[in-house]
Amino acid sequence: MKLNRRKFIEKTAAMGAVSMIAPSILPAATELPKRVKVGIIGCGSVSTQYLPHISKSPFVELISACDIVPERAQMAAKQYNIPNWYPHIDKMLAGPKPDLLLNLTDMQEHGRLNKIALNAGINVWSEKPMANTYAEGKALLDLAKAKGLKIWGAPAVVQSPQFAFMAEQIKEGKLGRVAAAHAHYGHLGPDWSAFFYEKGGGSLPDLGVYNLATLTGLLGPAKFVTAMTSIVTPNRKTNNKGDVKVEAEDNAVVLMDHGKGIISSVQCGFNYFDPYGHEGKGQEKPTISIWGSGGNMHLIGYDWAPFGVDMATRENNEKTIRHLSDPGKYVWQMGATVIAEHMATGENAPLIRPEHALHVLEVIEAARTASLVGKRIKINSTFQYPLI
């Protein structure tokens, strides 16, 4: 499909972006935006959130869909007008080559498939985690660099305006000397796929990962980690495999030492009563709180669906003020769209960085080790901080 000027305007308007684009910088008929060829592997639950968003991007051409349950790839292809669909990555790679592969498969498959894509010369956006272990993830990043390619990993929480606001307040010293923070996220656990409960799954890489990315993004890389993890529900009923034994933690509390005396905790799990579902609508209580000597700050709603930031500072007579209650354009499913747009234009460099995703993966591994051996574990990885 060729994108003409009218279609470009329609598409950007559909994304709500037109007010941000001055008419003078809209491309003339002869200079249409470069489009990144995108392939998608894993056409399950999360793809139904990604596809409606990325398919509207004027910087994206969806060229292929793949799933080992071929009907899912076929259905995605039909619904989003994707010309090619495949039952296996090898078949996909034998077809037209994507510039960017979105890996939305089971967590345990990410590392293996990401490596195949990089070796085939394709950039990668991976759902979390980027790999099964930090070492595997680091090797992927090294491979990407050696090949002149890029790899990025979800989540996209650092792209929200609320994250930017909180980061700025901390940087400007509005909270005084920051001391402590707490974050939580949980629900009753997915029932559609067993991989969430099998080895390599777990509530830390599925849910805790958001809060860990936000708090390390705001307070700096973790230097040490300790944790307790447990399994509260030993067996689960799942749609694809029936009854399964739960092997990965479904309950976790993680403590991070960010240096300079700053300590934070993150709790997550698959046993939390949570009426707010997958859109987070109605969750209007703080899920992330940060305390300092001169103020405190609370993110309202989840970090992946934030609705505002409540802040009270000594400077402001300790009165709590709600900031940024307008959710704006940010949605958690936008990570791959933002990356594709950056690849196409070279502009709007995303704050999502692979080193940050890998750091969070090291924290998750360290939390599991800490729980097992009853120690605090040194974290060796780091990332460019502050992000903003």
Ligand X SMILES: NC(=O)c1ccc[n+]([C@@H]2O[C@H](COP(=O)([O-])OP(=O)(O)OC[C@H]3O[C@@H](n4cnc5c(N)ncnc54)[C@H](O)[C@@H]3O)[C@@H](O)[C@H]2O)c1
Q: Does 373 bind ligand X (CB under 6 A)?
A: no
**Cβ 84 to ligand X, closest distance in Å?**
14
The residue (of 49 and 325) whose beta carbon lies closer to ligand X is 49
Q: Which of 106, 198, 249, 303 touches ligand X (CB under 6 A)?
A: 106
The residue (of 109 and 341) whose beta carbon lies closer to ligand X is 109
Q: Does 77 bind ligand X (CB under 6 A)?
A: no
Lateral strand order in the sheet of 60-66: 84-86, 60-66, 36-41, 100-103, 123-126, 151-153
Residues 201-230 binding ligand X (CB under 6 A) are 206
Q: Does 93 bind ligand X (CB under 6 A)?
A: no
Q: Which of 36, 38, 40, 43 touches ligand X (CB under 6 A)?
A: 43
User: Hey, which bits of the chain come out as E strands?
Assistant: 36-41, 60-66, 84-86, 100-103, 123-126, 151-153, 178-186, 224-230, 235-238, 242-245, 251-257, 263-269, 286-292, 295-302, 305-313, 321-323, 377-378
Q: Which of 51, 115, 125, 127 touches ligand X (CB under 6 A)?
A: 127
**Cβ 128 to ligand X, closest distance in Å?**
6
SS3 263: strand
Residues 251-280 binding ligand X (CB under 6 A) are 278
SS3 244: strand
CB atoms within 10 A of CB 153: 31
Q: Write down the residue that tokens 């650092």 correspond to.
A: 158
Q: Does 328 bind ligand X (CB under 6 A)?
A: no
Q: Does 75 bind ligand X (CB under 6 A)?
A: no
The answer to whether residues 42 and 195 touch, using CB atoms and an 8 Å cutoff, is: no
Q: Does 180 bind ligand X (CB under 6 A)?
A: no
Q: Does 41 bind ligand X (CB under 6 A)?
A: yes
Q: Residue 167 and residue 294: Cα distance in Å, rounded?
A: 15
Q: Does 249 bind ligand X (CB under 6 A)?
A: no
- Interacting residues with ligand X (CB under 6 A): 41-46, 49, 66-69, 72, 89, 104-107, 109, 113, 127-128, 192-193, 206, 278
